[in-house]
Amino acid sequence: MSVTLDMSQTPLREVNATLQAAAKAQSNEPHVIVNARGSHAMAVGLDGPLHVTVKGSTGYYCAGMNKEATVTVEGSAGPGVAENMMSGVVTIEGDASQYAGATGHGGLLNIKGNASSRCGISMKGIDIVVHGNIGHMSAFMAQKGNLVVLGDAGDALGDSLYEARLFVRGSVKSLGADCIEKEMRPEHVEVLKELLERAGADAKPEEFKRYGSARKLYNFNIDHAGEY
């Protein structure tokens, strides 16, 4: 039996306190948030197995710092969704605004629509699957993890990239500094296949190109001074 939290009657602070207590108790019971009305910082700091469904769209920083919980937004999400996510699954049925999944350390962020600019900025181990397109400067300084894009990517993809892997099925407007197209080896096909299956994405690994770091900016080199 699910627990319904009505934000037309219950303030955000109380909603989050209820969710955090349930997650900490590892109740693993479904919680449904209705009348979300685009509220900010919803379902943040969950630290345990819990299923949360938001009926509607959310404002900025939804599901930030998520750990173990499964959060589904039946709408779109504002800036910073799943920022600093550690584990669990966050699903956005609509579109996500800028810097989705920023600094994420783990877990899966599954965006069924499009993502705006700076998607996956400074990602540190998170897996992000975007079923639509992503905006400019996505995966900027991305250190670890996988960014999968079924649509197109905007300008400066992977600028100043470290060791994150970027898979794009559509076109890339331009690559950022030190980001290059790389060979799609069998181990990458396997990783991508698993991620596509987990995200319920209708695509084949063979349709994607892989992008990664050229590793020229790891240490200062006067020959590359213009790229810093």
pLDDT digits (tens, 9 = 90+) for 153-193: 999 999 999 999 999 999 999 999 999 999 999 999 999 99
Query: Does residue 16 fall inside a structural domain?
Result: no
Would you call 189 helix, strand, or coil by DSSP?
helix
User: What residues make up the domain containing 179?
Assistant: 98-227
Query: Does residue 188 fall inside a structural domain?
Result: yes
- Confidence band for 194, pLDDT divided at 50, 70 and 90: very high
Widest CA span in the chain = 63
**Which of 18, 25, 10 is CA-nearest to residue 43?**
18
What pTM value is reported for the model?
0.94
Query: Does residue 90 fall inside a structural domain?
Result: no
Query: Does residue 194 fall inside a structural domain?
Result: yes
pLDDT digits (tens, 9 = 90+) for 24-49: 998 788 999 999 999 999 999 999 99
Query: Does residue 187 fall inside a structural domain?
Result: yes
Q: How many domains does the chain have?
A: 1
Strand partners, 146: 127, 165
Query: Does residue 206 fall inside a structural domain?
Result: yes
Query: Does residue 44 fall inside a structural domain?
Result: no
Query: Does residue 215 fall inside a structural domain?
Result: yes
- Residue 218 pLDDT > 70, yes or no? no
Q: What is the mean pLDDT of residues 39-61?
A: 96
- Confidence band for 216, pLDDT divided at 50, 70 and 90: confident
